[in-house]
C-alpha cells in the first residue's frame, strides 16, 4: 500500500474521531513522531562512533582483538580463582 493511500486512510480515521478526543490523538501522534526522530538521532550517533574504526589497519585491529581476548582471559581467570578460594 502506498504512503499516500495510508495517509488518506489515517486522515479519514481522524475525521471520524469525536472532537473531545482529538487532543489525545494529537498527543499520541506528536510523541510517536518525536520518538522516531530521537531514535534516528541515536542511530546516527552510533554509526558515527562506529566510523571511528574505519581508519584502523587490519593488523592494528587484529592486535587490538588479541589484547582484548587476553585481558578477558586474565580477568576471568582471577575471578574464577577468587570464587574457588572463597567457596
Per-residue pLDDT tens for 17-40? Answer: 999 999 999 999 998 888 877 766
Residue whose C-alpha is closest to residue 22's, from 31, 13, 10, 14: 14
Closest CA relative to residue 66, chosen from 76, 55, 74? 74
Look at 72 and 44; give whichever has higher pLDDT.
72
Q: Is the pLDDT of residue 52 over 80?
A: no
pLDDT score for 75: 84
Any residues with CB less than 8 A from the CB of 17 and at least 6 apart, and which? 25
pTM of the predicted model over 0.85: no
Q: What is the pLDDT of residue 21?
A: 93
Dihedral of alpha carbons 35, 37, 43, 48, sign:
negative
- Give the cell for residue 18: 469525536
Amino acid at each position: 500500500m502506498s504512503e499516500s493511500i495510508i495517509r488518506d486512510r489515517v486522515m479519514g480515521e481522524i475525521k471520524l474521531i469525536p472532537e473531545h478526543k482529538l487532543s489525545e490523538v494529537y498527543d499520541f501522534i506528536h510523541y510517536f513522531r518525536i520518538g522516531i526522530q530521537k531514535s534516528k538521532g541515536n542511530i546516527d550517533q552510533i554509526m558515527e562512533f562506529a566510523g571511528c574504526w574505519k581508519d584502523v589497519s587490519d593488523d592494528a585491529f587484529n592486535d587490538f582483538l588479541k589484547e582484548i581476548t587476553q585481558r578477558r582471559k586474565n580477568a576471568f581467570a582471577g575471578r574464577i580463582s577468587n570464587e574457588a578460594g572463597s567457596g
